[in-house]
Amino acid sequence: MKEEAYIVTGFRSAVGKAGRGGFRFYRPDDLAADVIKHLVDSVPQLDKTRIDDVIVGNATPEAEQGLNVGRLISLMGLGTDKVPGMTVNRYCSSGLETIAIAKAKIENGMADCIIAGGVESMSVMAMGGWRIVPNPKIGKEHPTWYWGMGLTAEAVAKDFNVSREDQDLFALKSHEKAIAAIKAGRFKDEIVPVDIEHIFLDEHEKRQVKHYVVDTDEGPRASTIEALTKLKPVFANGGSVTAGNSSQTSDGAAFVLVMSGKMVKELNLEPVARLVSYSVVGVEPRIMGIGPIEAIPKAVKQAGLTLNDINLFELNEAFASQSLAVIREAGLNLDIVNVNGGAIALGHPLGCTGAKLTVQMIHELRRRNQKYGVVTMCVGTGQGAAGVIELLR
């Protein structure tokens, strides 16, 4: 008989602005360890040495995020060398992929307790990594395989007739919803406040120490449609994709605790949710943003549900053009998509995003007393991913 896998709890950091936000001088392994410490402390009956693995999603596992950062985060966050760790990279779906791996291992009797999630610091990392070495043969025969995300967003806008006006309006609404969510305190319970100690030299080369706490998402900002329409396209001459209708580069970490049904009973815990199904698809890399169009129905079907059974969608807003293409082509109800804003406002810390959206989904389903949600995203090099989340209490 297959073992059930449950999400017992989950937390995330606030999302910082890359290069200029509160985490710009903070290492990603430290940030992830902070979230994991809080996660484990929230389940006092759990002996840390009984955790079978720490699985960390990361889209650029090099430099400060290298050296199998998953294992280092396990050591740092749990304070024991008895729990292994690994790093997983499926670009933007890395954080959701780790939860799916945890589910699969537990259901097949390979583990009873796994911490799964992701971390990304785009402050410390150049986009794509510090040393990009494309295959010259592929570059000649299939150049779109290496296209930057901005170019793919332009291709989606053109192929799916998404106007500049619609993209800017979508971006504006993302910020408005995110600002409203922050003002209402909707993210407060899911965010782990992080204490930062910033040591630096002032203009007189004297050592200075600054202490502050990061506990609020930094990306949302008040804007107007007039301001957004004035922005110039940044990826193509005559294009429609701008900095204002694209996701923000960001820093963040998010993790959930996944546990077997027998361990949940043993520790007398009440699980909050479960990942019912998870799907990954391949699409044309030139228009990678459409990935959720195929991933969503596949995941929903795997769950034995229909689109009408889904109460909420967390669609990663890589770009307004691809978000609108997905919503229209997949037939999603816009009223239940990104109800608290998306990555255009809240940021997109790559390998963290899938876990971050899962944590947000669980909290919002609970707040609305709803049962099913879908976390979905497009993935670089032509992929799409989607997971169905069921709220249990």
pLDDT by residue for the chain (393 residues), tens only, comes to 789 999 999 999 999 999 999 999 999 999 999 999 999 999 999 999 999 999 999 999 999 999 999 999 999 999 999 999 999 999 999 999 999 999 999 999 999 999 999 999 999 988 888 999 999 999 999 999 999 999 999 999 999 999 999 999 999 999 999 999 999 999 999 999 999 998 888 888 889 899 999 999 999 999 999 999 999 999 999 999 999 999 999 999 999 999 999 999 999 999 999 999 999 999 999 999 999 999 999 999 999 999 999 999 999 999 999 999 999 999 999 999 999 999 999 999 999 999 999 999 999 999 999 999 999 999 999 999 999 999 997
Alpha-carbon Rg of the chain, whole angstroms?
20
Structural tokens at position 382: 């032509």
- Whole-number pLDDT of residue 268: 98
Query: In angstroms, rounded to a whole number, what is the distance separating the alpha carbons of residues 312 and 314?
Result: 7
- Whole-number pLDDT of residue 393: 76
What is the β-pairing status of strands 312-315 and 273-282? unpaired
Q: How many CB atoms lie within 10 A of CB 325?
A: 24
Picking from 93, 94, 76, the residue whose alpha carbon sits closest to that of residue 85 is 76
| 47 phi, psi to nearest 5 deg | -80, 120
- Whole-number pLDDT of residue 181: 98
* Residue 348 a catalytic site member: yes
> Could you say which of 92, 175, 352, 363 is catalytic?
92
Q: Which amino acid is residue 99, in one-letter code?
A: I
- Whole-number pLDDT of residue 118: 98
361 within 8 A of 314, measured Cβ to Cβ: yes
The secondary element (H helix, E strand) that includes residue 40 is helix 28-41
- Whole-number pLDDT of residue 204: 86
Query: In angstroms, rounded to a whole number, what is the distance separating the alpha carbons of residues 18 and 379?
Result: 20
Query: In angstroms, rounded to a whole number, what is the distance separating the alpha carbons of residues 156 and 241?
Result: 10
* Residue 142 a catalytic site member: no
Return the DSSP state at 249.
B
340 within 8 A of 360, measured Cβ to Cβ: yes
43 within 8 A of 276, measured Cβ to Cβ: no
* Rounded to 5°, angle at Cα 255 from 26 and 333: 110
312 within 8 A of 374, measured Cβ to Cβ: yes
Q: How many CB atoms lie within 10 A of CB 159?
A: 15
* Residue 113 a catalytic site member: no
- Whole-number pLDDT of residue 376: 98
274 within 8 A of 7, measured Cβ to Cβ: yes
The secondary element (H helix, E strand) that includes residue 299 is helix 291-302
> Could you say which of 38, 113, 175, 348 is catalytic?
348
Structural tokens at position 88: 């997983």
- Whole-number pLDDT of residue 128: 87
The pTM (predicted TM-score) of the whole model is 0.97
Return the DSSP state at 3.
P
- Whole-number pLDDT of residue 309: 98
